[in-house]
Amino acid sequence: MRTGVVDTPLHPGRCPSWLFKRMVKLSGVISEAIINEYGADELLKRLSDPLFFQALGCVIGFDWHSSGVTTTTCGALKTALITNEQVVVCGGKGATSRRTPQEIRSLDLSEDEKERLVYASRMSAKSDNSCLQDGYQLYHHSFLLSNNGEWTVIQQGMSSNYARRYHWHSSLAKGFVEKTNNLICCNKVENRVLNLTAVESRDVRELSVDLVNDGPS
């Protein structure tokens, strides 16, 4: 289930290398502290909370009100945890996001488990990109996995001048199409949104499938 949504202004540019190095170091220390004290699953659960993630990005040094906090914080976590045996981070921004399935399949897991995780990665992206038609096109997708099989997805879409971040967690992912208790946390309301993941949209989804299957008349 999607656990939250956050909106931030869309800013161009790159994080300075000196700042990114500090973010890697700080995010690594904080992550290790949480893992050692509470376990890897708890780290992923906290990262699935949009407010915790936003706070983490600020604590490790990035601008609190910028789209870059998502991509840079995820990048810092991926670098910091590269040697960690309990948490792995796959995917990232742009072309790197499209390599998420490849990175998942490179892990030392059973084939069935790999395909289960690839399915979760693809369907969470498909749900936020296609079923939730809010005007934001995904360009960032990070898939975080614990050694116990729990996972968190942090992905972000962009519109003309704003970015929107979406969070998922495996413990709540009963399905990827219809969610009845998803949390949305944001300060920007879009006037025209077609939310096909809503229970109220069930008839619309079924009719859409019927129309596609019937083909052109």
- pLDDT tens across the length of the chain (217 residues): 565 556 565 556 677 788 899 999 999 999 999 999 999 999 999 999 999 999 999 999 876 667 789 999 999 999 999 999 999 999 999 999 999 999 999 999 999 999 999 999 999 999 999 888 888 899 999 999 999 999 999 999 988 788 889 999 998 767 888 864 455 556 677 788 888 888 889 999 999 889 989 876 6
Joined tokens for residue 148? 């116990």
Note if the pTM is more than 0.85: yes
Tally the domains of the chain.
Answer: 1
Cβ contact 197:181 at 8 Å: no
CA-to-CA dists, residue 2 to 49, 66, 217, angstroms:
10, 21, 37
- Name the DSSP class of 56: H
Cβ contact 142:74 at 8 Å: yes
- Domain span at residue 129 reads 2-214
